[in-house]
Amino acid sequence: MGKKSTAMAFAMACNCAGETSKTIRQETNIPCGRCKPCLKIEAGNHPDIIRVKPSGPFIKIDQIRSLCQTIAMKPYEARRRVVIISDAQAMNPAASNALLKMLEEPPARTILILLATHTSDLLPTIVSRCQQLRFKPISSRKLESVLVREHGLAADDARIITTMAAGSLSRALRLHQTNWINRRNWLINEMETLSTASVNRLLAFGEQLSKNKKDLQDSLEVMTSWLRDLVVSRLNPERVVNQDLAPRIRQVSQQMSIDVLVEKIDTIQAAQNAIQAGTNLRLALEAMVLRLAKI
Ligand SMILES: [Zn+2]
């Protein structure tokens, strides 16, 4: 992993003006990290290093259109302008098609970098126009120790977060900064009480999910991982993701049939698909919650 940091280092290497280590730099292409362009890029205020990320669950066509307008003009000061599109899979089809035109005729002195977890989540026409670089996940042990040593997390918290971070340091840090463990516990409590909750309470839960758009994907993943753990706990307890909750998972899983659990997982997946396709967020989530409670 390290896709984002590598993209930023690449942008720096393309524009580094460091004099002191010029020979080394030419041989290794490592940016100096001290010159004006390097510092500006690192601080995130270089006008020609453009970051695009989802606003809410999607990268919208307006974002890609405004990107097209910006890069139709010459770069302000960069040797090479670099556009970094994070979570490129969050582009809806309209946004993807708008980007496609830009990929077909890239503007001068501009490099477009798309970051995504799976190429299968992108339009094949986009993938075929890009050069692919693969990144490997960081091992759990290493990630855990980096979180404890360099970011001051408690060992227990580091272990829980590592299980959800899928080998990505930036994801782990984001989970930590957004107080994810508390949110996970809240979601799991809600999931456990769904079948006995009143309709009002269910609708309120759906609404709460829809209000926090930024964390929605993570929230849905937590819910799925909890249900998955309830299935896995019966078949192969060592593979439970939320290991710190293993005794509770074991207990709850005995009260539900595997068929029911799988149906619940499918329900969340269907809601994710509907949201991705642009359905009204709140309606999709309310419907999902009501269905989860009924199954
Ligand atoms: Zn530099």
CA dist., res. 217 & res. 226, Å (int): 14
Residues 14 and 94 in one domain: yes
Supply the angle between the helices 246-253 and 216-235 in degrees, to the nearest 10. 70
Find the 32 Cα to ligand 1 centroid distance in Å.
4
Q: Please indicate, yes or no, if residue 222 is contained in any of the structural domains.
A: yes
Question: Of 113, 43, 4, 82, whose CA–CA distance to 35 is shortest?
Answer: 43
CA dist., res. 204 & res. 290, Å (int): 11
Q: What is the pLDDT of residues 194-238, one digit of tens each?
A: 989 999 999 999 999 999 887 898 899 999 999 999 999 998 988
262's enclosing H/E stretch is: helix 258-276
Give the whole-number percent of the chain exceeding pLDDT 90. Answer: 69
pLDDT of the residue at 25: 56
pLDDT of the residue at 105: 86
pLDDT of the residue at 213: 82
Give residue 106's pLDDT band: very low, low, confident or very high (50, 70, 90).
confident
CA dist., res. 292 & res. 190, Å (int): 11
* C-alpha 23, offset from chain centre: 38
Residues 173 and 200 in one domain: no
When pLDDT is averaged across residues 81-102 and rounded to a whole number, the result is 93
Question: Of 191, 196, 157, whose CA–CA distance to 177 is shortest?
Answer: 157
Q: Which domain holds residue 157?
A: 137-177
pLDDT of the residue at 108: 86
pLDDT of the residue at 26: 63
pLDDT of the residue at 285: 96
Residues 229 and 190 in one domain: yes
CB atoms within 5 A of ion ligand 1 belong to 16, 18, 31-32, 35, 38
Residues 285 and 188 in one domain: yes
Find the 30 Cα to ligand 1 centroid distance in Å.
9
Q: What is the pLDDT of residues 249-265, one digit of tens each?
A: 999 999 889 999 999 99
Which positions ≥6 away from 210 have C-beta within 8 Å?
216, 281, 282, 285, 286
**Strands across the sheet containing 49-52:** 49-52, 81-85, 110-114
8 A C-beta contact, residue 67 and residue 50: yes
Find the 78 Cα to ligand 1 centroid distance in Å.
12
pTM of the complete model: 0.62
Residues 173 and 211 in one domain: no
pLDDT of the residue at 5: 86
Domain of residue 218, CATH code: 1.20.272.10
pLDDT of the residue at 164: 83
Question: Of 81, 14, 93, whose CA–CA distance to 51 is shortest?
Answer: 81
pLDDT of the residue at 1: 76
pLDDT of the residue at 134: 92
When pLDDT is averaged across residues 22-35 and rounded to a whole number, the result is 74
